[in-house]
Amino acid sequence: MSGSGGSVDAIAVETDSLNARPTDAIATPDSASNGTPRTLFPGSPALDGLRTADGSSWPELRRRLPARWGRLWLDIGLRYLMLALGLALACAVAARFGNGFGLVAAPFVAVWMGFWFASIVLFIHEAAHYNLHPDKDKNDRLAGNVICVLIGNDIKHYRAHHWKHHLYLGDTADTEISYHWAPTLRFAIETMVGVHAWRVFRAHRNAGLDAFPKASARSRNTLALARGIVFHGAILLPIVLAGWWSAAVAWALAVLVVFPYLSALRQQLEHRSPDAASDVDYTKVPHGAVNRMFGGDPFARAFGCAGFRRHLLHHWDPSTSYTRFDELEGFLMQTEVAPLIDGARTTYFAAWRVLARG
Ligand SMILES: [Zn+2]
Ligand SMILES: [Zn+2]
């Protein structure tokens, strides 16, 4: 790429710096405004300006709260177990009752597997914020081998892309755009036939991170994609060789249809404004930053795992591990922003009912 000049370096440097920044992702006093805390993230107050009645601040508290690594890995492990149970069931049905019956059962098993597959992929987000392991290199290796392998992407690439979501939430430059559409039936069908995947792919390209990658980033991306293909091949090949091809169909439906749909739906419920209009192009008109806090029922805990059900907290302080959200929420509820948090509380179902009107 040496002939492409400055733009190559500019984007390569940007990708690198976006990888470095999640480490200091907290609102900080702005020296240009005489030390007044500033809002670093759209829709977020400056957390380090907040104090509880006893004078504690979040940066102080957070320093004493390392991620709960045991809980994190237990959460990931249990989700893999759920996914494996779904696949084992699909194989058992094909082996016992034949592929005809297996095909009838495939959509149901696919919903189960796609749900847990999506749930595991959410942890890529913890990895993006260096919350899988205290050592950054090990964090990225674990992310690659345990999470990114499912979707064939590279954690450094994802981190740069995802970080722009934090910096530009609700703006036309936001890199995560599924909330630009309402969770309607039409959207569900578009997702199932791949139309939405194409939109996301295009937005990803427009974000510029793919345009002129450094050679090292290119080879990382290729390696990550190859690793993903090998992973899915290693699952599908023995199943097909055993003659249980309906189980392979169920797996493909889970990965290619259910997973993308649930991922898009979740993001719509997290960020779409009830005032958003279906005929507005939010890549041209700012949508505005909207964050929600969903309840703690078992469905919400599974669907919005890895802290996603308290997405507002994550946007207010992206570098805090979800395993410390109880403490973060507890702190914030003792400060002046408690009413803002209470105002954002809802359930996935209630949010869906409002937003599905289009
Ligand atoms: Zn978000
Ligand atoms: Zn994030």
How far apart are alpha carbons 61 and 52 in whole angstroms?
Answer: 11
Cα end-to-end distance, the chain, whole Å: 44
User: Would you kindly state where each structural domain of the chain is located, as residue ranges?
Assistant: 69-355
**136 within 8 A of 277, measured Cβ to Cβ:** no
Sign of the dihedral defined by the CA atoms of residues 94, 98, 103, 104, in that order: negative
Report the separation in Å between the CA atom of 93 and the middle of ligand 2, taken as the mean of its atom positions. 39
Contact 294, 309 (CB under 8 A): yes
Q: How far is the CA of 5 from the centre of ligand 2 (A)?
A: 32
Q: Which ligand is nearest to the CA of 306?
A: 2
User: Which tokens belong to 217?
Assistant: 């980033």
Ligand nearest to the CA of 271: 1
pTM of the model: 0.86
Closest CA to 130 of 24, 58, 22: 22
Question: What's the gap in Å between 1 CA and the centre of ligand 2?
Answer: 31
What's the CA-to-centroid distance between 54 and ligand 1, angstroms? Answer: 31
CA of 308 to the centre of ligand 2 (A): 9
Residue 148 CA to residue 345 CA, distance in Å, equals 31
Q: List beta partners, residue 346.
A: 294
CB 30 within 8 A of CB 36: yes
Beta pairing partners, 345:
293
Q: What is the pLDDT of residue 25?
A: 36
Q: What is the number of the ligand closest to the CA of 128? A: 2
pLDDT of residue 209: 53
Give the pLDDT of residue 201: 73
Query: Whose CA is closest to 170, among 162, 157, 180, 155?
Result: 180
CA of residue 137 to ligand 1 center, whole Å: 25
> Which tokens hold the place of 72?
């994190």
Q: Find the farthest-apart pair of alpha carbons in the chain and give their distance in angstroms, rounded.
A: 73
Q: What is the pLDDT of residues 136-160, one digit of tens each?
A: 999 999 999 999 999 999 999 999 8
Q: What are phi and psi of 203, to 5 degrees?
A: -65, -40
Q: Which residues contact 310 (CB under 8 A, 6 or more apart)?
A: 293, 294, 304, 322, 325, 329
pLDDT of residue 19: 54
The per-residue pLDDT for 213 is 61
* DSSP-derived secondary structure for 46-92: -GGG---TT---HHHHHHT----HHHHHHHHHHHHHHHHHHHHHHHH
In terms of Cα–Cα distance, which of 23, 24, 20 is closest to 134? 23
Contacts of 134 (CB under 8 A, 6+ apart): 66, 67
Task: Give the Å distance between the CA of 24 and the centre of ligand 2.
Answer: 13
Q: How far apart are the CA of 164 and the centre of ligand 2, in A?
A: 9
Task: State in Å: Cα 177 to ligand 1 middle.
Answer: 10
Q: DSSP letters along 151-186, please?
A: HT--HHHHHHHHHHHHHTTTSTT-S--GGGS---HH
Q: How far is the CA of 158 from the centre of ligand 1 (A)?
A: 14
Structure tokens at 223: 């390696």
CA 72 to ligand 2 center in whole angstroms: 16
Residue with tokens 């802290």: 307
128: CA distance to ligand 2 center in Å? 7
Residue 346 has which token pair? 């809802």
| For the CA of 317, the nearest ligand | 2
**pLDDT tens digits for range 19-29:** 554 433 333 33
Q: Which ligand is nearest to the CA of 268?
A: 1
Q: 165 C-alpha vs ligand 1 centroid, how far in Å?
A: 7
Length of the chain as a residue count = 358
Q: Which residues of the chain have pLDDT under 70?
A: 1-39, 204-213
Pair of tokens at residue 153: 């992407």
Residue 272 and residue 194: Cα distance in Å, rounded?
21
Task: Determine the distance separating the centroid of ligand 1 and the alpha carbon of 271, expressed in angstroms.
Answer: 7
Encode 78-116: b = buried (16+ Cβ within 10 Å), e = exposed: ebeebbeebbebbbebbeeeebeebbebbeebbbbbbbb
Phi/psi at 318 (nearest 5 deg)? Answer: -60, -20
